[in-house]
Amino acid sequence: MICKKEFHGIMLMIIAQMAFVVGWSGIKSIGQEMPLFEIVFFRSIISVIILAPMAHLRLRTFRGNDRLMLFLRAFFGYIGMVLIFYAITKMELGNAVTLFNTLPIFVALLAPLCLGEPFKKIQFLFVIIAFIGITIIIKPGTVMIGLPSILALVAGLAGAIAMIALRKLGSTDSPILVTLYFTAFGAIVSLPIAAWNFVWPDKNQWLIISLVGISVTVAQLLMAKAYKLARAATIAPFGYTFVIGSYISGMIFFGELPDALSAIGAAITVACGVMIMLTAPKADCIPGGTPSVRA
């Protein structure tokens, strides 16, 4: 039975996912008008502006403990962010988000090798079925398969590597500091590229890009709070409300109506992702530091 505290955690998790939907929908809406690295820079620098004072007030330091893992989290998280932002501007929002949310599936495959975490046979079965769902979404041999869908999958893999680093960081560094390092890295690396082909945003674009940065940052903070209130195994599956919300946003705001095969493939992939989480041994649960993995 779910206690009141865990119920609050579930609600925060769902709200966080809806905030992610708002942010990523904003990225899709301006993705054809603004250069990719300019979007990544503004998304990152807004988070830095929000998180830096919080880190100073709560931690009184910006010094990380495990610098190698902080770098690996920032590097692979940045790669994943750039790739998925590109993908969502080039393909249907719901399909891109579904392919990116193969992240837990990749983690299930990588964790035993990288962390020595246990891996159940039933999880392997769900991994195989999940990749069948992915195949249905990208439709090999049709016009659906292409660079954006491949990059969305690679973004999920990069995010999984970032999550492996986060599991290491869960016992050494604060989630706020981890996220600050990630966004600061993103801002610093993107700035020269963004400046090279800078397009000054108009009023609407400033509004949207500000909404993107704020909503994604708030979503990460809400997720961190959710993981403190409830067990990971209880609330992690609710992270897939992000996929549902993305399909709804795609239909309402971008006129993207997924075909039957895409819907079936997404349902299979999401269901397997949830089952991988639910059947994972306790040592394989997502720790409190992982909410900052999402771009």
* Spatial separation of the C-alpha atoms in residues 76 and 165, rounded to whole Å: 9
114-162 residue pLDDT tens: 767 677 788 889 989 999 999 888 876 554 458 899 999 999 999 999 9
Q: What is the CA radius of gyration of the chain?
A: 18
Average pLDDT score over residue span 26-52? 96
209-218 residue pLDDT tens: 999 999 999 9
CA distances from 36 to 81, 208, 248, 264, 287 (A): 11, 14, 24, 31, 31
Residues 256, 250 contacting (CB under 8 angstroms): yes
Band the pLDDT of 292: cuts 50, 70, 90: low
Highest mean pLDDT among 63-72, 218-227, 235-244: 63-72
Q: Tell whether the torsion through CA atoms of 95, 101, 105 and 106 is positive or negative.
A: positive
Average pLDDT score over residue span 33-58? 95
Residue type, 288: G
* Spatial separation of the C-alpha atoms in residues 18 and 245, rounded to whole Å: 7
- pLDDT at res. 145: 59
- The enclosing H or E element of 217 equals helix 203-229
245-267 residue pLDDT tens: 999 999 999 999 988 989 999 99
Residue 282 has pLDDT above 60, yes or no: no
Residues 87, 100 contacting (CB under 8 angstroms): yes
CA distances from 58 to 75, 176, 202, 289 (A): 25, 9, 36, 16
Average pLDDT, the chain: 88
* Spatial separation of the C-alpha atoms in residues 94 and 193, rounded to whole Å: 28
Q: Quick one: what percent of the chain has pLDDT higher than 90? A: 57
Residue 84 has pLDDT above 90, yes or no: yes
* Spatial separation of the C-alpha atoms in residues 141 and 263, rounded to whole Å: 18
For the entire predicted model, the pTM comes to: 0.90
